[in-house]
């Protein structure tokens, strides 16, 4: 089975290494980095992944380059690991190169930000393309040195995937088998892609922490950081409490979608429950959102995106980070769009979204344009 990974970043690098440990798997990596492509072409050696216990595994992808035709040649599965803001351009780039002589399973890890709707628009007319997504990343990944190594954080004990509503039962069974070849953790197939779209994750988590760090009346409002801070082990209590409010609003969107569409979305659980079920014994204290985030060993050491302060000493939040361009400009924007379509009030999410757009100053001020015009009327 040939798997093409789109994106040579942290997640793409990690899965290129891990998939090559599996028997019978060919791995191709489509990257936008000429430097990464040159390194692979020059035989720069194995890509490595180091686990929390220090154990390192390595492998060399069968291809890593910028040519979509070569990367996608005879592929069976395409996994998009690029952030949401890069996916529309990626879909346009790969569309003409998808094989037409076989089923091609086009998915995203994670499948957040309405990937099913985006992919449907992108591959219109390609009836052999099966659209799917995974609810979350099976492992966290950080500390990337491109083309050389990445650090692997905690792993999920169970994985969840879903297909676009248009896909058949046969495609569902085939995807389940393909994913079982790639991952050790059991994979449960969900009934509706909305179960992925509404799963609480980065679109709630990162913006809430940002607001608690640098938003109105926050400790670092208009003030640089003296040293690096971690997203989770340094998470302020105010951020955790705001996150709980945002999570309740996400549940309200879920309930409204369930009522309107008659779809069972009961798998979209409150965030704290999701995290406890996902990370289990890696969480030392799961009594509150605050204690959970600060004591989850799977999250330990993951730093917030900081860069040198251009106006003086210290560090400031990186405005180019995925927290803004993916989690807010796509993830939160999509929730705001869906809530408006469903007539659900989400004041906390909306407050953070509007603040973040003002703070950043350069985010696109248009909502995702790939949400079906008839949604949620179209069941």
Helical axes 115-122 vs 87-94, angle rounded to 10°: 30
Rounded distance, CA 105 to CA 110, Å?
15
Chain segment 264-321, per-residue pLDDT in tens: 999 999 999 989 988 888 999 999 999 999 999 988 888 999 999 999 999 999 999 9
The mean per-residue pLDDT over the stretch 151-178 comes to 92
pLDDT at res. 279: 86
From CA 116, how far away is CA 119, in angstroms rounded? 5
User: 353 with 262: CB under 8 angstroms?
Assistant: no
Confidence grade of residue 373 (pLDDT, cut at 50, 70, 90): confident
Question: What is the structure's pLDDT at 193?
Answer: 96
Look at the alpha carbons of 237, 223, 205, 49 in this order and tell me if their dihedral is positive or negative. Answer: negative
- Split at pLDDT 50, 70, 90, the class of 365 is low
89 burial (CB, 10 Å; 0-12 / 13-18 / 19+) is exposed
Instruction: Write the CA distances from 154 to 134, 138, 142, 281, integer angstroms.
Output: 17, 8, 11, 11
pLDDT digits 0-9 by tens, 318-345: 999 989 999 999 999 999 999 999 999 9
**This prediction's pTM:** 0.88
d(CA 262, CA 272): 25
């Amino acid at each position: 089975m040939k798997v093409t990974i789109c994106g040579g970043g942290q997640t793409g690098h990690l899965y290129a290494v891990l998939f090559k440990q599996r028997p019978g798997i060919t791995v191709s990596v489509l990257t936008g980095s000429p430097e990464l492509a040159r390194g692979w072409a020059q035989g720069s050696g194995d890509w490595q992944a180091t686990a929390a216990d220090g154990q390192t595994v390595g492998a060399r992808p069968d291809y890593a380059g910028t040519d979509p035709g070569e990367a996608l040649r005879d592929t069976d599965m395409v996994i998009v690991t690029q952030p949401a803001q890069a996916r529309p351009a990626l879909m346009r780039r790969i569309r003409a190169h998808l094989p037409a002589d076989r089923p091609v399973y086009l998915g995203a890890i994670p499948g957040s930000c309405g990937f099913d709707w985006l992919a449907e628009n992108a591959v219109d007319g390609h009836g052999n393309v099966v659209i799917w997504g995974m609810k979350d990343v099976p492992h966290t990944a950080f500390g990337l040195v491109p083309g050389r190594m990445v650090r692997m954080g905690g792993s999920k004990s169970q994985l969840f995937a879903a297909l676009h509503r248009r896909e058949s039962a046969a495609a569902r069974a085939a995807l389940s088998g393909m994913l079982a070849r790639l991952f050790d953790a059991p994979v449960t197939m969900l009934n509706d892609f909305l179960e992925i779209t509404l799963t609480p994750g980065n679109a709630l988590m990162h913006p809430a922490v940002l607001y608690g760090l640098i938003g109105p009346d926050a400790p670092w409002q208009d003030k640089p950081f003296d040293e690096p801070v971690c997203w989770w082990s340094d998470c302020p209590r105010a951020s955790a409490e705001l996150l709980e409010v945002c999570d309740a609003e996400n549940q309200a969107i879920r309930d409204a979608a369930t009522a309107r569409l008659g779809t069972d979305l009961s798998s979209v659980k409150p965030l704290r429950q999701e995290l406890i079920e996902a990370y289990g014994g890696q969480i030392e204290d799961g009594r509150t959102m605050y204690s959970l985030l600060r004591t989850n060993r799977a999250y330990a050491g993951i730093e917030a995106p900081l860069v040198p302060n251009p106006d003086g000493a210290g560090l400031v939040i990186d405005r180019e980070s995925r927290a803004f361009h993916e989690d807010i400009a796509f993830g939160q924007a999509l929730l705001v769009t869906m809530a408006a379509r469903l007539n659900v009030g989400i004041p906390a999410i909306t407050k953070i979204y509007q603040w973040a757009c003002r703070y950043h100053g350069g985010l696109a001020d248009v909502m995702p344009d790939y949400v079906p015009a008839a949604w949620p009327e179209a069941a």
